[in-house]
Amino acid sequence: MPTNADLYDQDFFQWTQTTAAQIRGGKWQDIDLASVAEELESLGKRDWRELGSRLQVLMTHLLKWRYQASERSRRVRGWQNTIEDQRTEIAVLLRQSPSLRPHVPDLVAERYLNAVRKAARETGLPRETFPPTCPWTAEQLLDAEFWPEE
């Protein structure tokens, strides 16, 4: 029978099930602790990536909302839905992992230029149309009542 460490490399799903059973059974001596630690860290990284991704999508749509106002009447529902959905999911993520909240400004700064690139590509506007740094605070981005105007 393969060891817990062997299972980690050979069959990840089986490793998760076996390790959970070993933890519940108090069989700590059979557990590959290094792999457990690695997976726990990866869960935190997953939430970090999700928060960054959702912020990027949110900023992209807020940029389109603000800088392509002429298209709002045609695209208002789609843009509003995306903005509201991202804000809702970010709020859920921050409720589940409140220690991520202080990192929102850093993630905004890190992901803003990607949001500009995507907004420029999707709108056909030159990148120079958009500010070089995010024109909104983290609080504004997360505020369900905030809608940037011209």
State the DSSP string of 72-90: HHHHHHHHHHHHHHHHHHH
Closest CA to 131 of 87, 67, 78: 67
- Asked if residue 95 is part of any domain, the answer here is yes
- Asked if residue 124 is part of any domain, the answer here is yes
Distance, in Å, from the CA atom of 52 to the CA atom of 50, rounded to the nearest integer, reads 5
Contact 37, 51 (CB under 8 A): no
- Asked if residue 107 is part of any domain, the answer here is yes
- Asked if residue 30 is part of any domain, the answer here is no
pLDDT tens per residue, the chain (150 residues)? 788 888 888 998 999 999 999 999 999 999 999 999 999 999 889 999 999 999 999 999 999 999 987 777 666 678 899 999 999 999 999 999 999 999 999 999 999 999 999 999 999 999 999 999 999 999 999 999 999 986
Q: Give me the domain span that covers residue 65.
A: 46-142
pTM summary value: 0.83
- Asked if residue 18 is part of any domain, the answer here is no
- Asked if residue 86 is part of any domain, the answer here is yes
- Asked if residue 82 is part of any domain, the answer here is yes
Residue where the block lists tokens 């605070």? 137
Distance, in Å, from the CA atom of 122 to the CA atom of 116, rounded to the nearest integer, reads 10
Number of domains in the chain: 1
